Chain A
Amino acid sequence: MNAPPSSADKAAPTCMGAEIRLEGVSVRFGESRIVSGINLHVAAGEFVCLLGPSGCGKSTLLNLVAGFLPATSGRVSAGRRPVRGPGMDRGVVFQSTEALFPWLTVQENIEYGPRMRGVPRATRAEAARHYLELVGLGHAADRLPGELSGGMRQRTQIARVLVNEPSVVLMDEPFAALDAQTREVMQVELDRIWQATRPTILFITHDIWEAILLGDRIITMTAGPDATFKTVAPVAIPHPRELTAPAAVELYRELRENIASEVRRTLQAQGMVRGAAA
Protein backbone atom coordinates (compact mmCIF):
# COMPACT_ATOMS: atom_id res chain seq x y z
CA MET A 1 0.00 0.00 0.00
CA ASN A 2 1.16 3.51 -0.66
CA ALA A 3 2.18 5.78 2.11
CA PRO A 4 0.19 8.99 1.78
CA PRO A 5 2.36 11.68 0.24
CA SER A 6 3.56 14.48 2.47
CA SER A 7 1.33 17.05 0.77
CA ALA A 8 -1.62 15.47 2.54
CA ASP A 9 -0.26 16.49 5.90
CA LYS A 10 -0.92 20.18 5.54
CA ALA A 11 -4.63 19.80 6.35
CA ALA A 12 -5.59 17.89 9.46
CA PRO A 13 -7.64 14.83 8.54
CA THR A 14 -11.29 15.44 9.38
CA CYS A 15 -12.55 11.91 8.68
CA MET A 16 -10.92 8.98 10.40
CA GLY A 17 -10.81 6.24 7.83
CA ALA A 18 -12.09 2.81 8.82
CA GLU A 19 -11.32 -0.53 7.25
CA ILE A 20 -13.77 -2.43 5.07
CA ARG A 21 -13.85 -6.21 5.10
CA LEU A 22 -15.73 -8.62 2.86
CA GLU A 23 -15.25 -12.30 3.68
CA GLY A 24 -16.50 -15.06 1.40
CA VAL A 25 -19.32 -12.85 0.15
CA SER A 26 -21.85 -14.05 -2.41
CA VAL A 27 -25.01 -12.43 -3.66
CA ARG A 28 -27.83 -14.19 -5.45
CA PHE A 29 -31.11 -12.88 -6.75
CA GLY A 30 -33.30 -15.93 -7.07
CA GLU A 31 -31.51 -18.22 -9.48
CA SER A 32 -28.93 -15.78 -10.73
CA ARG A 33 -25.62 -15.51 -8.94
CA ILE A 34 -24.36 -11.95 -9.16
CA VAL A 35 -21.06 -12.23 -7.33
CA SER A 36 -19.47 -15.07 -5.41
CA GLY A 37 -16.44 -15.79 -3.27
CA ILE A 38 -15.47 -12.20 -2.72
CA ASN A 39 -12.76 -11.47 -0.18
CA LEU A 40 -11.72 -7.87 0.17
CA HIS A 41 -9.85 -5.92 2.77
CA VAL A 42 -9.59 -2.18 2.36
CA ALA A 43 -7.29 -0.61 4.93
CA ALA A 44 -8.29 2.47 6.90
CA GLY A 45 -7.71 5.57 4.79
CA GLU A 46 -7.06 3.60 1.63
CA PHE A 47 -8.47 4.53 -1.79
CA VAL A 48 -9.50 1.41 -3.69
CA CYS A 49 -10.92 1.45 -7.21
CA LEU A 50 -13.14 -1.35 -8.45
CA LEU A 51 -12.73 -1.47 -12.19
CA GLY A 52 -14.75 -3.48 -14.64
CA PRO A 53 -17.23 -3.43 -17.47
CA SER A 54 -20.93 -2.81 -16.88
CA GLY A 55 -22.87 -5.63 -15.31
CA CYS A 56 -19.94 -7.26 -13.55
CA GLY A 57 -21.33 -6.72 -10.08
CA LYS A 58 -19.23 -3.73 -9.01
CA SER A 59 -22.25 -1.79 -7.83
CA THR A 60 -23.53 -4.87 -6.02
CA LEU A 61 -20.40 -4.88 -3.87
CA LEU A 62 -20.79 -1.19 -3.13
CA ASN A 63 -24.44 -1.70 -2.22
CA LEU A 64 -23.39 -4.45 0.19
CA VAL A 65 -21.01 -2.16 2.03
CA ALA A 66 -23.55 0.67 1.98
CA GLY A 67 -26.08 -1.67 3.55
CA PHE A 68 -28.62 -1.29 0.75
CA LEU A 69 -28.42 -4.99 -0.01
CA PRO A 70 -27.84 -8.00 2.23
CA ALA A 71 -25.21 -10.59 1.34
CA THR A 72 -26.66 -14.02 0.56
CA SER A 73 -23.68 -15.52 2.35
CA GLY A 74 -20.43 -14.29 3.82
CA ARG A 75 -19.65 -11.36 6.07
CA VAL A 76 -19.47 -7.64 5.37
CA SER A 77 -18.07 -5.24 7.92
CA ALA A 78 -16.98 -1.62 8.04
CA GLY A 79 -14.92 -0.25 10.89
CA ARG A 80 -14.94 -3.74 12.47
CA ARG A 81 -18.72 -3.62 12.84
CA PRO A 82 -20.89 -5.89 10.72
CA VAL A 83 -23.00 -3.98 8.19
CA ARG A 84 -26.69 -4.29 9.02
CA GLY A 85 -28.15 -1.51 6.94
CA PRO A 86 -27.38 1.97 5.69
CA GLY A 87 -25.65 4.31 8.11
CA MET A 88 -23.98 7.66 8.01
CA ASP A 89 -20.59 6.17 8.91
CA ARG A 90 -20.64 5.05 5.26
CA GLY A 91 -21.42 7.94 2.95
CA VAL A 92 -22.54 7.21 -0.59
CA VAL A 93 -21.99 9.38 -3.65
CA PHE A 94 -24.31 8.21 -6.41
CA GLN A 95 -23.78 8.44 -10.12
CA SER A 96 -27.13 10.10 -10.65
CA THR A 97 -27.66 13.58 -9.29
CA GLU A 98 -31.28 12.51 -8.74
CA ALA A 99 -29.94 11.55 -5.32
CA LEU A 100 -29.86 15.22 -4.32
CA PHE A 101 -33.03 16.68 -2.83
CA PRO A 102 -34.15 19.10 -5.54
CA TRP A 103 -36.33 21.19 -3.20
CA LEU A 104 -33.40 21.99 -0.91
CA THR A 105 -30.68 24.50 -1.72
CA VAL A 106 -27.09 23.34 -1.97
CA GLN A 107 -26.51 24.49 1.60
CA GLU A 108 -29.66 22.73 2.85
CA ASN A 109 -28.72 19.55 1.02
CA ILE A 110 -25.37 19.55 2.75
CA GLU A 111 -26.96 20.28 6.11
CA TYR A 112 -29.37 17.36 5.70
CA GLY A 113 -27.29 14.78 7.56
CA PRO A 114 -26.50 17.01 10.55
CA ARG A 115 -30.14 18.13 10.65
CA MET A 116 -31.30 14.51 10.92
CA ARG A 117 -28.91 14.07 13.85
CA GLY A 118 -30.36 17.13 15.58
CA VAL A 119 -27.22 19.27 15.26
CA PRO A 120 -28.14 22.88 16.19
CA ARG A 121 -28.81 25.21 13.29
CA ALA A 122 -25.77 27.45 13.69
CA THR A 123 -23.35 24.56 14.15
CA ARG A 124 -24.56 22.69 11.10
CA ALA A 125 -24.58 25.83 8.96
CA GLU A 126 -20.97 26.39 9.87
CA ALA A 127 -20.04 22.79 9.10
CA ALA A 128 -21.82 23.03 5.76
CA ARG A 129 -19.94 26.23 4.91
CA HIS A 130 -16.65 24.48 5.60
CA TYR A 131 -17.41 21.63 3.19
CA LEU A 132 -18.93 23.99 0.63
CA GLU A 133 -15.61 25.80 0.52
CA LEU A 134 -13.73 22.51 0.42
CA VAL A 135 -15.56 21.38 -2.72
CA GLY A 136 -15.40 24.88 -4.21
CA LEU A 137 -19.12 25.71 -4.06
CA GLY A 138 -18.95 28.67 -1.69
CA HIS A 139 -20.60 30.90 -4.29
CA ALA A 140 -23.56 28.56 -4.93
CA ALA A 141 -24.82 27.89 -1.40
CA ASP A 142 -28.30 29.29 -2.00
CA ARG A 143 -28.95 27.76 -5.37
CA LEU A 144 -31.21 24.78 -6.04
CA PRO A 145 -29.70 21.63 -7.58
CA GLY A 146 -31.78 22.16 -10.70
CA GLU A 147 -29.91 25.39 -11.34
CA LEU A 148 -26.48 23.76 -11.20
CA SER A 149 -24.28 22.08 -13.77
CA GLY A 150 -23.59 18.36 -13.51
CA GLY A 151 -20.15 18.94 -12.02
CA MET A 152 -21.49 21.27 -9.37
CA ARG A 153 -24.19 18.79 -8.44
CA GLN A 154 -21.60 16.09 -7.89
CA ARG A 155 -19.57 18.50 -5.75
CA THR A 156 -22.74 19.01 -3.70
CA GLN A 157 -23.17 15.27 -3.29
CA ILE A 158 -19.56 14.92 -2.14
CA ALA A 159 -19.90 17.76 0.38
CA ARG A 160 -23.20 16.36 1.63
CA VAL A 161 -21.47 13.09 2.41
CA LEU A 162 -18.27 14.55 3.88
CA VAL A 163 -20.12 16.84 6.30
CA ASN A 164 -21.19 13.70 8.17
CA GLU A 165 -17.49 12.89 8.60
CA PRO A 166 -17.94 9.31 7.47
CA SER A 167 -15.14 6.83 7.97
CA VAL A 168 -15.96 5.23 4.63
CA VAL A 169 -17.03 6.94 1.41
CA LEU A 170 -18.57 4.79 -1.30
CA MET A 171 -18.61 6.25 -4.78
CA ASP A 172 -20.58 4.58 -7.54
CA GLU A 173 -19.26 5.94 -10.84
CA PRO A 174 -19.75 9.48 -9.56
CA PHE A 175 -18.32 11.15 -12.65
CA ALA A 176 -19.58 8.80 -15.35
CA ALA A 177 -22.42 11.09 -16.39
CA LEU A 178 -20.23 14.19 -16.70
CA ASP A 179 -18.66 15.47 -19.89
CA ALA A 180 -14.99 14.67 -20.40
CA GLN A 181 -13.59 18.07 -19.40
CA THR A 182 -15.68 18.37 -16.25
CA ARG A 183 -14.80 14.80 -15.35
CA GLU A 184 -11.09 15.59 -15.48
CA VAL A 185 -11.55 18.61 -13.25
CA MET A 186 -13.59 16.56 -10.80
CA GLN A 187 -11.02 13.77 -10.66
CA VAL A 188 -8.27 16.20 -9.71
CA GLU A 189 -10.59 17.84 -7.19
CA LEU A 190 -11.51 14.51 -5.61
CA ASP A 191 -7.84 13.64 -5.27
CA ARG A 192 -7.28 16.95 -3.46
CA ILE A 193 -10.37 16.51 -1.24
CA TRP A 194 -9.37 12.98 -0.32
CA GLN A 195 -5.86 14.13 0.56
CA ALA A 196 -7.44 16.75 2.81
CA THR A 197 -9.95 14.53 4.60
CA ARG A 198 -8.64 10.94 4.29
CA PRO A 199 -11.68 8.72 4.64
CA THR A 200 -11.48 5.21 3.27
CA ILE A 201 -12.80 5.29 -0.27
CA LEU A 202 -14.28 2.50 -2.33
CA PHE A 203 -14.63 3.92 -5.81
CA ILE A 204 -16.38 2.21 -8.67
CA THR A 205 -15.55 3.07 -12.24
CA HIS A 206 -15.25 1.67 -15.71
CA ASP A 207 -12.73 4.36 -16.66
CA ILE A 208 -9.19 2.97 -16.47
CA TRP A 209 -7.48 6.38 -16.42
CA GLU A 210 -9.73 7.48 -13.60
CA ALA A 211 -8.76 4.43 -11.55
CA ILE A 212 -5.05 5.05 -12.16
CA LEU A 213 -5.36 8.71 -11.27
CA LEU A 214 -7.12 8.09 -7.97
CA GLY A 215 -6.56 4.60 -6.58
CA ASP A 216 -4.03 3.22 -4.13
CA ARG A 217 -5.10 -0.14 -5.46
CA ILE A 218 -7.11 -1.12 -8.50
CA ILE A 219 -9.18 -4.27 -8.45
CA THR A 220 -10.58 -5.71 -11.65
CA MET A 221 -13.44 -8.17 -11.73
CA THR A 222 -14.33 -11.03 -14.00
CA ALA A 223 -17.39 -10.54 -16.13
CA GLY A 224 -20.65 -11.47 -14.43
CA PRO A 225 -22.78 -13.36 -13.69
CA ASP A 226 -21.04 -15.06 -10.82
CA ALA A 227 -18.35 -12.38 -10.90
CA THR A 228 -15.32 -12.46 -8.71
CA PHE A 229 -12.04 -10.58 -8.35
CA LYS A 230 -9.53 -11.05 -11.10
CA THR A 231 -6.48 -8.97 -10.31
CA VAL A 232 -5.39 -6.53 -7.67
CA ALA A 233 -2.90 -3.95 -8.87
CA PRO A 234 -1.18 -1.58 -6.45
CA VAL A 235 -0.57 1.84 -7.95
CA ALA A 236 2.91 3.00 -6.93
CA ILE A 237 2.80 6.48 -8.43
CA PRO A 238 3.01 9.54 -6.17
CA HIS A 239 0.14 12.02 -5.97
CA PRO A 240 -0.78 14.23 -7.75
CA ARG A 241 -0.49 11.80 -10.59
CA GLU A 242 0.57 12.51 -14.12
CA LEU A 243 -1.11 10.14 -16.54
CA THR A 244 1.73 10.56 -19.01
CA ALA A 245 4.18 8.97 -16.56
CA PRO A 246 5.62 5.73 -18.04
CA ALA A 247 4.44 3.72 -15.03
CA ALA A 248 0.90 5.00 -15.55
CA VAL A 249 0.93 4.18 -19.26
CA GLU A 250 2.27 0.71 -18.56
CA LEU A 251 -0.43 0.09 -15.95
CA TYR A 252 -3.08 1.36 -18.35
CA ARG A 253 -2.01 -1.16 -21.01
CA GLU A 254 -2.13 -4.00 -18.53
CA LEU A 255 -5.54 -3.09 -17.18
CA ARG A 256 -7.00 -2.49 -20.60
CA GLU A 257 -5.98 -5.94 -21.81
CA ASN A 258 -7.19 -7.41 -18.55
CA ILE A 259 -10.66 -5.88 -18.93
CA ALA A 260 -10.89 -6.32 -22.69
CA SER A 261 -10.43 -10.07 -22.27
CA GLU A 262 -13.40 -10.11 -19.88
CA VAL A 263 -15.53 -8.13 -22.29
CA ARG A 264 -14.60 -10.52 -25.12
CA ARG A 265 -15.47 -13.47 -22.91
CA THR A 266 -18.92 -12.01 -22.22
CA LEU A 267 -19.56 -11.28 -25.85
CA GLN A 268 -18.45 -14.75 -26.83
CA ALA A 269 -20.72 -16.27 -24.22
CA GLN A 270 -23.56 -14.31 -25.79
CA GLY A 271 -22.54 -15.43 -29.26
CA MET A 272 -22.01 -11.87 -30.38
CA VAL A 273 -18.47 -12.29 -31.68
CA ARG A 274 -17.71 -14.18 -34.87
CA GLY A 275 -16.20 -17.60 -34.30
CA ALA A 276 -17.77 -17.82 -30.88
CA ALA A 277 -20.84 -19.85 -31.80
CA ALA A 278 -19.30 -23.21 -32.55
Chain B
Amino acid sequence: MTAVDRDSERYGEGPAEAAPPPRAFYNSRLGRLLTALLSVGLGIIVWQVLSLRYQPLFLPSPRLTLQAVGELWDDGTLLQSIGASLARIMAGWSLGLVIGIPVGIVMGYFSFVRRLLDPYIEFFRFIPPIAFVTLAVIWLGPGEASKVALILYTTIFIVVINTIAGVLSVSELRLRAAASLGAGRVQTLLTVIFPSTIPYMVTGARIAMGNSFLTIVSAEIVAAQVGLGSMIWTSRNYGKTEWVFVGIITLGLLGYSCDRIIRFAVRRLLRRYAVAV
Protein backbone atom coordinates (compact mmCIF):
# COMPACT_ATOMS: atom_id res chain seq x y z
CA MET B 1 0.00 0.00 0.00
CA THR B 2 1.55 3.31 -1.05
CA ALA B 3 0.86 6.73 0.32
CA VAL B 4 -1.54 7.63 -2.49
CA ASP B 5 -3.39 4.38 -2.82
CA ARG B 6 -6.15 4.78 -0.32
CA ASP B 7 -9.16 5.59 -2.34
CA SER B 8 -11.23 3.13 -0.41
CA GLU B 9 -10.62 5.26 2.63
CA ARG B 10 -11.06 8.58 0.91
CA TYR B 11 -14.27 7.74 -0.80
CA GLY B 12 -15.58 4.78 1.08
CA GLU B 13 -16.32 6.17 4.47
CA GLY B 14 -17.05 9.86 4.26
CA PRO B 15 -20.20 11.24 5.84
CA ALA B 16 -23.01 9.29 4.25
CA GLU B 17 -24.77 11.44 1.68
CA ALA B 18 -27.82 9.57 0.58
CA ALA B 19 -30.05 11.25 -1.99
CA PRO B 20 -32.56 13.37 -0.08
CA PRO B 21 -36.05 11.90 -0.20
CA PRO B 22 -38.54 14.02 -2.16
CA ARG B 23 -39.83 16.69 0.21
CA ALA B 24 -43.41 17.65 0.69
CA PHE B 25 -44.30 21.16 -0.50
CA TYR B 26 -44.82 22.47 3.03
CA ASN B 27 -41.21 21.60 3.74
CA SER B 28 -39.76 23.48 0.79
CA ARG B 29 -38.37 26.97 1.12
CA LEU B 30 -41.36 28.58 -0.54
CA GLY B 31 -43.74 26.37 1.41
CA ARG B 32 -42.27 27.46 4.71
CA LEU B 33 -42.46 31.11 3.77
CA LEU B 34 -46.08 30.73 2.72
CA THR B 35 -46.89 28.92 5.96
CA ALA B 36 -45.42 31.80 7.95
CA LEU B 37 -47.35 34.35 5.88
CA LEU B 38 -50.53 32.33 6.28
CA SER B 39 -50.04 32.31 10.03
CA VAL B 40 -49.55 36.08 10.17
CA GLY B 41 -52.51 36.64 7.83
CA LEU B 42 -54.80 34.54 10.00
CA GLY B 43 -53.67 36.44 13.06
CA ILE B 44 -54.53 39.76 11.44
CA ILE B 45 -57.95 38.45 10.39
CA VAL B 46 -58.74 37.33 13.95
CA TRP B 47 -57.55 40.71 15.22
CA GLN B 48 -59.75 42.47 12.65
CA VAL B 49 -62.82 40.44 13.56
CA LEU B 50 -62.32 41.01 17.27
CA SER B 51 -61.76 44.74 16.79
CA LEU B 52 -65.20 45.05 15.17
CA ARG B 53 -66.79 44.11 18.48
CA TYR B 54 -64.91 46.60 20.69
CA GLN B 55 -64.24 50.32 21.00
CA PRO B 56 -60.94 51.54 19.46
CA LEU B 57 -59.85 52.63 22.92
CA PHE B 58 -60.12 49.03 24.05
CA LEU B 59 -58.92 47.30 20.90
CA PRO B 60 -57.90 49.37 17.88
CA SER B 61 -58.34 47.72 14.49
CA PRO B 62 -55.42 46.77 12.23
CA ARG B 63 -56.37 49.65 9.96
CA LEU B 64 -56.31 52.19 12.77
CA THR B 65 -52.98 50.82 13.92
CA LEU B 66 -51.56 51.15 10.45
CA GLN B 67 -52.75 54.76 10.38
CA ALA B 68 -51.03 55.30 13.71
CA VAL B 69 -47.81 53.97 12.22
CA GLY B 70 -48.17 56.62 9.53
CA GLU B 71 -48.73 59.39 12.08
CA LEU B 72 -45.84 58.36 14.27
CA TRP B 73 -43.58 57.91 11.29
CA ASP B 74 -44.43 61.27 9.76
CA ASP B 75 -43.67 63.30 12.87
CA GLY B 76 -40.48 61.31 13.43
CA THR B 77 -41.52 59.87 16.79
CA LEU B 78 -41.31 56.26 15.69
CA LEU B 79 -37.85 56.43 14.20
CA GLN B 80 -36.56 58.49 17.11
CA SER B 81 -37.99 55.99 19.60
CA ILE B 82 -36.52 53.03 17.78
CA GLY B 83 -33.16 54.77 17.54
CA ALA B 84 -33.07 55.66 21.22
CA SER B 85 -34.10 52.21 22.45
CA LEU B 86 -31.82 50.38 20.06
CA ALA B 87 -28.82 52.56 20.93
CA ARG B 88 -29.32 51.83 24.65
CA ILE B 89 -29.72 48.11 24.06
CA MET B 90 -26.68 47.92 21.80
CA ALA B 91 -24.50 49.91 24.17
CA GLY B 92 -25.50 47.94 27.28
CA TRP B 93 -25.52 44.57 25.54
CA SER B 94 -22.12 45.05 23.89
CA LEU B 95 -20.62 46.23 27.16
CA GLY B 96 -22.17 43.21 28.85
CA LEU B 97 -20.50 40.89 26.36
CA VAL B 98 -17.16 42.68 26.54
CA ILE B 99 -17.13 42.41 30.33
CA GLY B 100 -19.11 39.19 30.79
CA ILE B 101 -17.13 36.95 28.45
CA PRO B 102 -13.68 37.51 30.02
CA VAL B 103 -15.18 37.34 33.51
CA GLY B 104 -16.92 34.08 32.65
CA ILE B 105 -13.76 32.60 31.13
CA VAL B 106 -11.66 33.52 34.15
CA MET B 107 -14.33 32.29 36.57
CA GLY B 108 -14.62 29.05 34.66
CA TYR B 109 -10.90 28.44 34.45
CA PHE B 110 -9.76 29.48 37.92
CA SER B 111 -11.91 27.75 40.50
CA PHE B 112 -10.68 30.15 43.18
CA VAL B 113 -12.05 33.15 41.29
CA ARG B 114 -15.26 31.22 40.66
CA ARG B 115 -15.76 30.54 44.35
CA LEU B 116 -14.87 34.13 45.15
CA LEU B 117 -17.47 35.65 42.82
CA ASP B 118 -20.08 32.92 42.91
CA PRO B 119 -22.09 34.35 45.85
CA TYR B 120 -22.62 37.60 43.96
CA ILE B 121 -23.54 35.90 40.72
CA GLU B 122 -25.96 33.59 42.48
CA PHE B 123 -27.48 36.44 44.47
CA PHE B 124 -27.94 39.07 41.80
CA ARG B 125 -29.05 36.81 39.01
CA PHE B 126 -32.38 36.34 40.79
CA ILE B 127 -33.01 40.06 41.13
CA PRO B 128 -34.75 41.27 37.97
CA PRO B 129 -33.33 44.44 36.39
CA ILE B 130 -36.72 46.13 36.86
CA ALA B 131 -36.09 46.10 40.60
CA PHE B 132 -33.07 48.31 39.98
CA VAL B 133 -34.75 50.92 37.80
CA THR B 134 -35.32 53.35 40.66
CA LEU B 135 -31.85 52.86 42.07
CA ALA B 136 -30.28 53.30 38.65
CA VAL B 137 -31.98 56.67 38.28
CA ILE B 138 -30.96 57.77 41.78
CA TRP B 139 -27.35 56.72 41.26
CA LEU B 140 -26.79 57.49 37.61
CA GLY B 141 -29.37 60.17 36.92
CA PRO B 142 -32.20 60.15 34.40
CA GLY B 143 -29.85 60.27 31.40
CA GLU B 144 -28.58 57.52 29.15
CA ALA B 145 -26.19 56.06 31.74
CA SER B 146 -28.93 54.58 33.91
CA LYS B 147 -30.61 52.80 30.98
CA VAL B 148 -27.37 51.46 29.57
CA ALA B 149 -26.38 50.27 33.04
CA LEU B 150 -29.65 48.37 33.38
CA ILE B 151 -29.12 46.61 30.04
CA LEU B 152 -25.55 45.86 31.08
CA TYR B 153 -26.88 44.36 34.30
CA THR B 154 -29.40 42.29 32.34
CA THR B 155 -26.77 40.97 29.96
CA ILE B 156 -23.82 40.33 32.17
CA PHE B 157 -25.16 37.57 34.41
CA ILE B 158 -26.60 35.59 31.54
CA VAL B 159 -23.35 35.85 29.59
CA VAL B 160 -21.16 35.05 32.59
CA ILE B 161 -23.17 32.01 33.59
CA ASN B 162 -23.27 30.63 30.04
CA THR B 163 -19.57 31.22 29.54
CA ILE B 164 -18.71 29.46 32.79
CA ALA B 165 -20.82 26.50 31.72
CA GLY B 166 -18.93 26.49 28.42
CA VAL B 167 -15.52 26.53 30.07
CA LEU B 168 -16.50 23.73 32.44
CA SER B 169 -17.68 21.57 29.58
CA VAL B 170 -14.49 21.81 27.51
CA SER B 171 -13.46 18.25 26.81
CA GLU B 172 -10.63 17.01 29.03
CA LEU B 173 -9.21 15.34 25.95
CA ARG B 174 -8.67 18.66 24.20
CA LEU B 175 -6.93 20.09 27.24
CA ARG B 176 -4.65 17.09 27.43
CA ALA B 177 -3.91 17.29 23.73
CA ALA B 178 -2.97 20.96 24.07
CA ALA B 179 -0.78 20.29 27.09
CA SER B 180 1.12 17.49 25.40
CA LEU B 181 1.58 19.64 22.30
CA GLY B 182 3.41 22.16 24.43
CA ALA B 183 0.74 24.75 25.24
CA GLY B 184 1.13 26.54 28.57
CA ARG B 185 -1.76 27.46 30.83
CA VAL B 186 -2.42 30.87 29.34
CA GLN B 187 -1.96 29.55 25.79
CA THR B 188 -4.47 26.80 26.53
CA LEU B 189 -6.89 29.40 27.80
CA LEU B 190 -6.63 31.48 24.65
CA THR B 191 -6.27 28.80 21.99
CA VAL B 192 -8.42 25.96 23.32
CA ILE B 193 -10.80 27.08 26.04
CA PHE B 194 -11.88 30.34 24.42
CA PRO B 195 -12.74 28.85 21.03
CA SER B 196 -14.37 25.79 22.61
CA THR B 197 -16.63 28.10 24.61
CA ILE B 198 -17.88 30.21 21.70
CA PRO B 199 -21.16 28.28 21.22
CA TYR B 200 -22.05 28.95 24.86
CA MET B 201 -21.19 32.62 24.53
CA VAL B 202 -23.49 32.91 21.52
CA THR B 203 -26.33 31.27 23.43
CA GLY B 204 -25.77 33.69 26.30
CA ALA B 205 -25.66 36.66 23.96
CA ARG B 206 -28.92 35.68 22.28
CA ILE B 207 -30.80 35.14 25.54
CA ALA B 208 -29.39 38.39 26.87
CA MET B 209 -30.60 40.23 23.77
CA GLY B 210 -34.14 39.01 24.41
CA ASN B 211 -33.99 40.02 28.04
CA SER B 212 -32.60 43.42 27.12
CA PHE B 213 -35.89 44.15 25.36
CA LEU B 214 -37.75 43.36 28.58
CA THR B 215 -35.53 45.67 30.54
CA ILE B 216 -35.49 48.59 28.13
CA VAL B 217 -39.26 48.97 28.12
CA SER B 218 -39.57 49.04 31.88
CA ALA B 219 -36.60 51.36 32.23
CA GLU B 220 -37.95 53.78 29.64
CA ILE B 221 -41.44 53.74 31.13
CA VAL B 222 -40.06 54.91 34.44
CA ALA B 223 -37.37 57.27 33.31
CA ALA B 224 -37.01 58.41 29.71
CA GLN B 225 -38.21 61.16 27.39
CA VAL B 226 -37.69 59.12 24.22
CA GLY B 227 -37.65 55.43 23.43
CA LEU B 228 -40.22 52.77 22.65
CA GLY B 229 -41.04 52.27 26.34
CA SER B 230 -41.68 55.96 26.88
CA MET B 231 -43.67 56.11 23.63
CA ILE B 232 -45.96 53.38 24.94
CA TRP B 233 -46.32 55.13 28.28
CA THR B 234 -47.00 58.53 26.74
CA SER B 235 -49.63 57.02 24.42
CA ARG B 236 -51.45 55.73 27.46
CA ASN B 237 -51.60 59.24 28.88
CA TYR B 238 -53.17 60.49 25.63
CA GLY B 239 -55.57 57.59 25.44
CA LYS B 240 -54.08 56.51 22.12
CA THR B 241 -54.32 52.74 22.37
CA GLU B 242 -53.33 52.35 18.71
CA TRP B 243 -49.95 53.99 19.49
CA VAL B 244 -49.44 51.42 22.22
CA PHE B 245 -50.06 48.78 19.58
CA VAL B 246 -47.51 50.39 17.29
CA GLY B 247 -44.96 50.31 20.11
CA ILE B 248 -45.63 46.67 20.89
CA ILE B 249 -45.48 45.52 17.27
CA THR B 250 -42.29 47.51 16.73
CA LEU B 251 -40.67 45.85 19.74
CA GLY B 252 -41.55 42.41 18.43
CA LEU B 253 -40.24 43.10 14.96
CA LEU B 254 -37.12 44.76 16.30
CA GLY B 255 -36.29 41.85 18.59
CA TYR B 256 -36.88 39.38 15.80
CA SER B 257 -34.63 41.34 13.46
CA CYS B 258 -31.85 41.60 16.05
CA ASP B 259 -31.89 37.85 16.62
CA ARG B 260 -31.90 37.23 12.86
CA ILE B 261 -28.89 39.49 12.45
CA ILE B 262 -27.03 37.74 15.26
CA ARG B 263 -27.79 34.35 13.74
CA PHE B 264 -26.73 35.48 10.30
CA ALA B 265 -23.48 36.97 11.59
CA VAL B 266 -22.72 33.89 13.67
CA ARG B 267 -23.33 31.59 10.74
CA ARG B 268 -21.07 33.65 8.52
CA LEU B 269 -18.29 34.41 10.96
CA LEU B 270 -18.27 31.57 13.48
CA ARG B 271 -19.03 28.58 11.30
CA ARG B 272 -15.86 26.84 12.41
CA TYR B 273 -16.85 26.88 16.05
CA ALA B 274 -19.82 24.56 15.65
CA VAL B 275 -22.39 27.05 16.87
CA ALA B 276 -25.89 25.71 16.33
CA VAL B 277 -28.20 28.64 15.58
Report A's interface with B, CB cutoff 8 A: 66-68, 85-88, 90-92, 94, 96, 98-104, 112-113, 116-117, 133, 136, 144, 146, 149-152, 160-161, 164, 179, 181-182, 185, 188-189, 192
Contacting residue for A99 out of B14, B177, B273, B274, CB 8 A:
B177
CB of B191 within 8 A of CB of A112, answer yes
B181 interface hit (Cβ, 8 Å)? yes
CB of B180 within 8 A of CB of A103, answer no
Given A86-B180, A164-B182, 20 new contacts (CB under 8 A): A67-B180, A88-B181, A90-B180, A96-B173, A98-B171, A98-B173, A101-B174, A101-B195, A113-B181, A116-B191, A117-B182, A133-B3, A136-B3, A150-B13, A152-B10, A160-B181, A161-B181, A181-B9, A185-B6, A188-B1
Given contact pairs A99-B173, A149-B10, A92 touches B180 in the complex (Cβ within 8 A): yes
Max count, chain A CB within 10 A of own CB: residue among B4, B174, B184, B187: B174
B260 interface hit (Cβ, 8 Å)? no
CB neighbours (8 Å) of B14 from chain A are: 149
Report B's interface with A, CB cutoff 8 A: 1, 3-4, 6, 8-10, 12-14, 171, 173-174, 176-184, 187, 191-192, 195, 272-274
The smallest beta-carbon distance between B9 and chain A, in angstroms, is 5
Top 4 nearest A-B pairs by Cβ distance?
A88-B182, A86-B179, A103-B272, A113-B181
Contacting residue for A101 out of B13, B179, B192, CB 8 A:
B192
Residue of B with least CB distance to A166: B180
Instruction: Give Cα A181 to B178, complex, Å.
Output: 30
Residue of A with least CB distance to B174: A99
CB neighbours (8 Å) of B10 from chain A are: 149, 152
14 A-B pairs with C-beta separation under 8 A: A68-B176, A68-B180, A86-B176, A87-B180, A88-B181, A91-B181, A92-B180, A112-B178, A112-B181, A116-B187, A149-B10, A164-B181, A179-B13, A185-B8
CB of B272 within 8 A of CB of A116, answer no
Instruction: Give Cα A152 to B178, complex, Å.
Output: 20
Instruction: Give Cα A92 to B180, complex, Å.
Output: 7
Contacting residue for B9 out of A102, A117, A161, A185, CB 8 A:
A185
CB of B8 within 8 A of CB of A181, answer yes
Instruction: Give Cα A98 to B12, complex, Å.
Output: 21
CB of B183 within 8 A of CB of A116, answer yes
CB neighbours (8 Å) of A161 from chain B are: 181
Contacting residue for A136 out of B6, B174, B183, B187, CB 8 A:
B6
CB neighbours (8 Å) of A160 from chain B are: 181
CB neighbours (8 Å) of B1 from chain A are: 185, 188-189
Given contact pairs A88-B182, A136-B3, A150-B13, A98 touches B174 in the complex (Cβ within 8 A): yes
The smallest beta-carbon distance between A216 and chain B, in angstroms, is 21
Residue of A with least CB distance to B183: A116
The smallest beta-carbon distance between A123 and chain B, in angstroms, is 15
Residue of B with least CB distance to A184: B1
Given contact pairs A116-B191, A136-B4, A181-B8, A94 touches B177 in the complex (Cβ within 8 A): yes
CB neighbours (8 Å) of A189 from chain B are: 1, 3
The smallest beta-carbon distance between A120 and chain B, in angstroms, is 16
Instruction: Give Cα A181 to B11, complex, Å.
Output: 12
The smallest beta-carbon distance between A192 and chain B, in angstroms, is 8
CB neighbours (8 Å) of A152 from chain B are: 9-10
The smallest beta-carbon distance between A253 and chain B, in angstroms, is 26
The smallest beta-carbon distance between A127 and chain B, in angstroms, is 13
